[in-house]
Structure 1
Amino acid sequence: MKLCAWYLYGEKHRGYALNPVANFHLQNGSVLWRLNWMADTSPRGIGASCGMMVNYRYFLEDTASNSAAYLGTKHITASEQVLSLVSQFQQNSKL
Protein backbone atom coordinates (compact mmCIF):
# COMPACT_ATOMS: atom_id res chain seq x y z
CA MET A 1 0.00 0.00 0.00
CA LYS A 2 2.85 2.39 0.84
CA LEU A 3 4.62 1.67 -2.43
CA CYS A 4 1.38 2.10 -4.38
CA ALA A 5 0.75 5.45 -2.67
CA TRP A 6 4.26 6.56 -3.56
CA TYR A 7 3.86 5.40 -7.16
CA LEU A 8 0.65 7.38 -7.61
CA TYR A 9 1.75 10.46 -5.64
CA GLY A 10 5.51 10.65 -5.94
CA GLU A 11 6.64 9.03 -9.18
CA LYS A 12 6.67 11.67 -11.91
CA HIS A 13 7.25 12.12 -15.62
CA ARG A 14 8.20 15.70 -16.46
CA GLY A 15 6.72 16.71 -13.11
CA TYR A 16 3.32 15.10 -13.60
CA ALA A 17 1.98 11.78 -12.29
CA LEU A 18 3.66 8.86 -14.02
CA ASN A 19 0.48 6.79 -14.05
CA PRO A 20 -1.67 7.87 -17.02
CA VAL A 21 -4.99 7.28 -15.24
CA ALA A 22 -3.83 9.31 -12.24
CA ASN A 23 -2.63 12.04 -14.56
CA PHE A 24 -6.02 12.15 -16.29
CA HIS A 25 -8.01 12.49 -13.06
CA LEU A 26 -5.59 14.98 -11.49
CA GLN A 27 -5.66 17.19 -14.59
CA ASN A 28 -9.44 17.25 -14.22
CA GLY A 29 -9.22 18.44 -10.61
CA SER A 30 -9.76 15.31 -8.58
CA VAL A 31 -8.28 14.40 -5.21
CA LEU A 32 -6.19 11.23 -4.91
CA TRP A 33 -8.62 9.90 -2.34
CA ARG A 34 -8.23 6.29 -1.23
CA LEU A 35 -6.28 3.11 -1.89
CA ASN A 36 -8.20 -0.13 -1.62
CA TRP A 37 -6.36 -3.37 -0.85
CA MET A 38 -7.56 -6.44 -2.81
CA ALA A 39 -10.41 -4.54 -4.44
CA ASP A 40 -9.91 -6.31 -7.79
CA THR A 41 -9.13 -9.98 -7.28
CA SER A 42 -9.70 -10.93 -10.91
CA PRO A 43 -6.69 -12.41 -12.69
CA ARG A 44 -6.30 -9.17 -14.64
CA GLY A 45 -6.54 -7.05 -11.46
CA ILE A 46 -3.97 -9.16 -9.65
CA GLY A 47 -1.63 -9.05 -12.63
CA ALA A 48 -1.99 -5.35 -13.35
CA SER A 49 -2.05 -3.87 -9.83
CA CYS A 50 -1.66 -6.66 -7.26
CA GLY A 51 -5.42 -6.33 -6.70
CA MET A 52 -5.26 -2.72 -5.54
CA MET A 53 -7.57 -0.02 -6.78
CA VAL A 54 -7.59 3.72 -6.23
CA ASN A 55 -10.47 6.14 -5.79
CA TYR A 56 -10.31 9.67 -7.15
CA ARG A 57 -12.81 12.03 -5.58
CA TYR A 58 -14.16 15.16 -7.20
CA PHE A 59 -15.26 18.00 -4.94
CA LEU A 60 -17.06 20.20 -7.45
CA GLU A 61 -16.22 23.44 -5.64
CA ASP A 62 -12.49 22.54 -5.71
CA THR A 63 -12.01 20.96 -9.14
CA ALA A 64 -10.95 24.19 -10.89
CA SER A 65 -8.39 25.11 -8.22
CA ASN A 66 -7.08 21.52 -7.94
CA SER A 67 -6.70 21.32 -11.70
CA ALA A 68 -4.93 24.69 -11.87
CA ALA A 69 -2.56 23.71 -9.05
CA TYR A 70 -1.71 20.41 -10.73
CA LEU A 71 -1.21 21.88 -14.18
CA GLY A 72 0.57 25.01 -12.95
CA THR A 73 2.75 23.86 -10.06
CA LYS A 74 2.40 20.07 -10.41
CA HIS A 75 0.88 19.85 -6.92
CA ILE A 76 -1.15 16.69 -6.29
CA THR A 77 -4.06 17.08 -3.88
CA ALA A 78 -4.39 13.91 -1.81
CA SER A 79 -6.33 12.68 1.20
CA GLU A 80 -4.82 12.15 4.65
CA GLN A 81 -4.88 8.36 4.05
CA VAL A 82 -2.76 8.66 0.93
CA LEU A 83 -0.42 11.27 2.42
CA SER A 84 0.10 9.10 5.51
CA LEU A 85 1.05 6.12 3.33
CA VAL A 86 3.42 8.32 1.31
CA SER A 87 5.04 9.58 4.51
CA GLN A 88 5.47 6.02 5.83
CA PHE A 89 7.02 4.99 2.53
CA GLN A 90 9.46 7.92 2.61
CA GLN A 91 10.52 7.13 6.18
CA ASN A 92 11.37 3.54 5.27
CA SER A 93 12.73 4.07 1.77
CA LYS A 94 16.15 4.78 0.43
CA LEU A 95 14.74 6.57 -2.67
Structure 2
Amino acid sequence: MIAISERQLEAIQHTSQGMQQKEIALRMNCSIKNVKNLLSEARFKMNARNTLEVVAKAAKAGLICFLIASFATDIDSKNIRSRKNLRFRSTKELITG
Protein backbone atom coordinates (compact mmCIF):
# COMPACT_ATOMS: atom_id res chain seq x y z
CA MET A 1 0.00 0.00 0.00
CA ILE A 2 1.33 3.41 -0.96
CA ALA A 3 0.59 6.10 1.62
CA ILE A 4 0.65 9.45 -0.14
CA SER A 5 -1.38 12.56 0.59
CA GLU A 6 -4.28 13.80 -1.51
CA ARG A 7 -2.19 16.82 -2.58
CA GLN A 8 0.67 14.57 -3.65
CA LEU A 9 -1.74 12.41 -5.62
CA GLU A 10 -3.24 15.51 -7.24
CA ALA A 11 0.24 16.65 -8.32
CA ILE A 12 0.95 13.17 -9.71
CA GLN A 13 -2.34 13.18 -11.62
CA HIS A 14 -1.56 16.54 -13.20
CA THR A 15 1.96 15.36 -14.05
CA SER A 16 0.55 12.25 -15.72
CA GLN A 17 -1.51 14.54 -17.94
CA GLY A 18 1.67 16.20 -19.15
CA MET A 19 1.33 19.42 -17.18
CA GLN A 20 4.48 21.35 -16.30
CA GLN A 21 5.16 22.29 -12.67
CA LYS A 22 4.18 25.91 -13.31
CA GLU A 23 0.81 24.78 -14.72
CA ILE A 24 0.29 22.42 -11.78
CA ALA A 25 1.03 25.23 -9.31
CA LEU A 26 -1.58 27.44 -10.96
CA ARG A 27 -4.15 24.62 -10.97
CA MET A 28 -3.48 23.68 -7.34
CA ASN A 29 -3.26 27.31 -6.20
CA CYS A 30 0.21 26.94 -4.70
CA SER A 31 3.82 27.80 -5.48
CA ILE A 32 6.06 25.93 -7.91
CA LYS A 33 8.31 25.12 -4.94
CA ASN A 34 5.34 23.49 -3.20
CA VAL A 35 4.65 21.35 -6.29
CA LYS A 36 8.33 20.32 -6.39
CA ASN A 37 8.14 19.37 -2.71
CA LEU A 38 4.93 17.37 -3.19
CA LEU A 39 6.45 15.40 -6.07
CA SER A 40 9.75 14.94 -4.20
CA GLU A 41 7.94 13.57 -1.14
CA ALA A 42 5.92 11.24 -3.37
CA ARG A 43 9.16 10.02 -5.02
CA PHE A 44 10.60 9.26 -1.59
CA LYS A 45 7.47 7.49 -0.33
CA MET A 46 7.16 5.44 -3.52
CA ASN A 47 10.88 4.65 -3.70
CA ALA A 48 11.03 6.09 -7.21
CA ARG A 49 14.09 7.50 -8.95
CA ASN A 50 12.22 10.26 -10.77
CA THR A 51 8.79 11.74 -11.38
CA LEU A 52 8.21 9.53 -14.41
CA GLU A 53 8.61 6.47 -12.21
CA VAL A 54 6.22 7.99 -9.64
CA VAL A 55 3.56 8.30 -12.35
CA ALA A 56 4.18 4.73 -13.53
CA LYS A 57 4.02 3.30 -9.99
CA ALA A 58 0.86 5.27 -9.21
CA ALA A 59 -0.78 3.90 -12.35
CA LYS A 60 0.31 0.32 -11.55
CA ALA A 61 -1.05 0.71 -8.00
CA GLY A 62 -4.40 1.92 -9.36
CA LEU A 63 -4.04 5.37 -7.81
CA ILE A 64 -4.56 7.02 -11.19
CA CYS A 65 -6.72 5.33 -13.78
CA PHE A 66 -7.06 7.84 -16.62
CA LEU A 67 -3.42 7.77 -17.66
CA ILE A 68 -3.83 5.41 -20.61
CA ALA A 69 -6.73 7.50 -21.91
CA SER A 70 -4.44 10.51 -21.95
CA PHE A 71 -2.02 8.64 -24.20
CA ALA A 72 -4.71 8.22 -26.85
CA THR A 73 -5.52 11.91 -26.97
CA ASP A 74 -2.19 13.58 -26.23
CA ILE A 75 0.32 11.50 -28.16
CA ASP A 76 -1.58 11.86 -31.42
CA SER A 77 -2.16 15.59 -31.00
CA LYS A 78 -0.40 17.69 -33.63
CA ASN A 79 0.30 20.45 -31.10
CA ILE A 80 2.14 18.28 -28.59
CA ARG A 81 5.82 18.99 -28.09
CA SER A 82 8.21 16.15 -28.82
CA ARG A 83 9.59 16.23 -25.25
CA LYS A 84 6.13 15.71 -23.78
CA ASN A 85 5.44 13.01 -26.38
CA LEU A 86 8.61 11.21 -25.34
CA ARG A 87 7.61 11.46 -21.66
CA PHE A 88 4.20 9.89 -22.38
CA ARG A 89 5.74 7.08 -24.42
CA SER A 90 8.34 6.40 -21.71
CA THR A 91 5.64 6.30 -19.04
CA LYS A 92 3.55 3.95 -21.14
CA GLU A 93 6.54 1.62 -21.55
CA LEU A 94 7.14 1.62 -17.77
CA ILE A 95 3.50 0.78 -17.10
CA THR A 96 2.97 -1.83 -19.78
CA GLY A 97 6.42 -3.37 -19.46
Structure-1-length-normalised TM-score:
0.28
Greater helix proportion = 2
Between the two structures, name the one with larger relative contact order (CA 8 Å, sep ≥ 6). 1
